[in-house]
Copies of this chain bind each other. A is one copy, B any other.
Amino acid sequence: MPTAKKKDYSAQARIIKAMGHPTRLLILNSLKKRETCVCELRDLVGDDISTVSKHLLVLKKAGLVAVRREGNWLHYRLTCPCVLDFARCLERVLT
């Protein structure tokens, strides 16, 4: 790595930034188990559904989740479950 620039990290930063919100972490961890429709996530999160929808958009734009329609329901799923392995290291930071 000769001269790494800020620009080189902006792509990574975008993904990490998308993860850096309690609600979005809650959603990601919930999706680890199985894909879930928005209304179920709304119940889990407890915020207005438009707020949940916006959080899902952030995660989708970051490439962290993907969607599948089934009738009226949109089912979101994790694209890369490995992103949650990270939590184990964070526990160490927290101590």
Contacts and interface: CB of A to CB of B under 8 A. Distances in A.
Interface string A1-12: 100111111111
Interface residues of A, number: 43
| Dominant secondary structure at the A interface | helix
A62 B25 CA distance: 17
Interface string A49-73: 0000000000000111000000000
Contacts of A8: 26
A21 B1 CA distance: 19
Interface of A: 1, 4-26, 29-30, 45-46, 62-64, 79-80, 82-83, 85-87, 89-90, 92-94
